[in-house]
Chain A
Amino acid sequence: MSQFARALAIGRKDVESYYAKPPLITWALLFPAVLMLAIYVKDPDEYLAVAPGIIAMTLLFGCTSMAAIVVTFEKRSGTLRRLLLTPVTPGTIILGKAGSAAAYGLSTSLLLTLGLGLVLGMPLANPPAFAVGLLLGAAAFSLLGVLASVLVREVFEAMTLMNFFRFPTLFLSGVFMPLDAFPSWLMPLAMLSPLTYAVELLRLGVSGSCYFTSPWVPALALLAYILGGWWLAISAFRRRAGQ
């Protein structure tokens, strides 16, 4: 059996243990759905400008909610040691953990997209761009979540670290306000945020246009985050696993 098949086994087990729980699913879906509904009720013409950002936010929270604590949690409970005693490589463990987080984030954001399409009639002008935005965003966010989990020792530290990243990111990434309207001094920070690129790819998917002149720019930026997140997560994991 290949290491990839083992990563799938780890991912399936994590979905079963952590993600397929009613409280997590309802929270991940209800919060963005209610937010979207509030924006729609306030101004039905404007909801399309915000919808890609809310979908990207759902993806970010879905991919990082458990990923950010799962390794720390398993380290505390001793089950990470059990995993390390099996014939799996650090890359397999990271892939399994990030894969389950990405699957959960994709499921919740796809369900929200489906709901927005069915209830509010949200269009998809460029479905491939939308799909690429979701897939690359899910990979980048889940790896960042796993990286946070690997870097810290305690579950609460992982939550704190992730919240310091997630909430400012919502403000900086064009979720509620288009990048065109950003003051120039804020733009460098916006360009540092991976969420910015996911939001713009989803915006391209929904409305057919985005801030960037070419879809390759956000796609390659997300790819760079994926590669960087993968490398950092594996390096940190190798260093921390023996402690």
Chain B
Amino acid sequence: MPPESTVPAVAVAGLHKSYGAVPALQGVSFTVPRGGVFAYLGPNGAGKTTTINVLCGLLRPDSGRVAVCGLEVSREPVKVKARIGVVPDESNLYPELSCRRNLDYLGELYGLPRRVRRARGAELLELFALADRAEKPFRALSRGLKRRLVLAAALVHSPEVLFLDEPTIGLDVPSARALRQLIRRINREGTTVFLTTHNLAEAEDLADRVCILIQGRVVEVGAPMEIRSRVDRGTYLKLGLSGEVTARELLSSCPAVKQAQRQNGFWRLEVEALHEALAQALAFAQARQLLVNEVGVERPTLEEAFLAILQKDQSAEVSPR
């Protein structure tokens, strides 16, 4: 048996699930290494929630193998549930119970002894800045505070893997930011995070590995940078110079620059090899005794990459085969 640390947090192979005649997942396979943040992305109806439900033991797959922390979910659902925490897309704690009692009750269901769960509850209320609202009923909290308590509730038993389904949905900017900081902190402390979100900037910000699912099929898996680099859109160098030059001068002095465009007082250069183009542009400025007052690199964002992948998939579907 492999040591615990080498067993992937989640391993999915050939997962199929249909609702009647409608296929939801068609041979989904991916692996989530331990300790990272894995973003599971896809448009509405792609099968993200179905996957999470299968991983959490709420739904039986038609076929395929699903293991969490090395345990087969269909064979040992109770053991799997004891090792995972889940933050669903809805804030579904007990509205009539206080924040403290909600955490205490869930601690009881995870089998924590009274003293441990009391201490853990107090620690989480403190960590999530809810200590002063500990005795307030869950229903009396604002949306942002409810999301915080739901996240705290998912951590009450210190899970090895945390599933987050749209964790910041419906939150204002400061609340979403605070929640992202908490997610980072939880991950730093060793919990593997499995995240689904429609917020691509959030996925790019948090995740070290991304999986893109379209119509129940995995179309891309890799680090966000890898996925961005697979998109055909070029890399752009933004350059601000203290004096006037022409596009022709720039293009002739910098062979690594494919195109040069003037935009809002800056040059926007489409480049082939970034390092080479940057060195050539700086040498060009030095030769002309111009000051470089702005340098920036524009790469396709994860959102642009996602849209490009989506478009490619749709056009492949409509074109005759």
* A-to-B contact residues, CB < 8 Å: 1, 5-6, 9-10, 13, 16-17, 77-79, 81-89, 241-242
Contacts and interface: CB of A to CB of B under 8 A. Distances in A.
Given A17-B97, A79-B92, A85-B58, A9 B81 contact: no
B78 interface: yes
B86 to A, nearest CB: 5
Contacts of A88: 78, 81, 109
B46 interface: no
Interface string B46-78: 000000010010111000000000000000001
B220 to A, nearest CB: 29
B185 to A, nearest CB: 22
B96 interface: yes
**What is the predominant secondary structure among interface residues of chain A facing chain B?**
helix
A27 B231 CA distance: 68
Contacts of B97: 13, 16-17
B277 to A, nearest CB: 51
B94 A79 contact: yes
Contacts of A86: 81, 106, 109-110
Contacts of B92: 77-79, 81-82
A87 B78 contact: yes
B108 A242 contact: no
30 contacts: A6-B108, A6-B111, A9-B105, A13-B94, A13-B105, A16-B101, A17-B96, A17-B97, A78-B88, A78-B90, A78-B92, A79-B92, A79-B93, A79-B94, A81-B92, A82-B106, A82-B153, A85-B88, A86-B81, A86-B106, A86-B110, A87-B79, A87-B82, A88-B78, A88-B109, A89-B78, A242-B53, A242-B58, A242-B59, A242-B60
A106 to B, nearest CB: 23
Given A6-B109, A87-B78, A88-B109, A82 B58 contact: no
A85 B86 contact: yes
B88 A87 contact: no
Contacts of B86: 85
A66 B228 CA distance: 54
A9 B106 CA distance: 9
B95 interface: yes
Interface string B87-125: 010101111110001000110111111000000000000
A3 B96 CA distance: 25
Contacts of B109: 6, 9-10, 83, 86-88
Given A6-B108, A10-B109, A242-B59, A85 B94 contact: no
A84 B60 CA distance: 14
A81 B58 contact: yes
Contacts of A6: 108-109, 111
Contacts of B82: 87
Contacts of A81: 58, 88, 92
Contacts of A78: 88, 90, 92
Contacts of B113: 1
A6 B107 CA distance: 10
Nearest to A241: B58
B88 A77 contact: no
B58 A84 contact: yes
A241 B57 CA distance: 11
A79 B93 CA distance: 6
A121 B53 CA distance: 58
Contacts of A83: 109
B77 to A, nearest CB: 8
A6 B110 CA distance: 8
B27 to A, nearest CB: 21
Contacts of B94: 13, 17, 79, 82
Closest 9 CB pairs of A and B: A78-B92, A1-B111, A9-B108, A87-B82, A86-B109, A87-B81, A87-B78, A85-B86, A82-B92
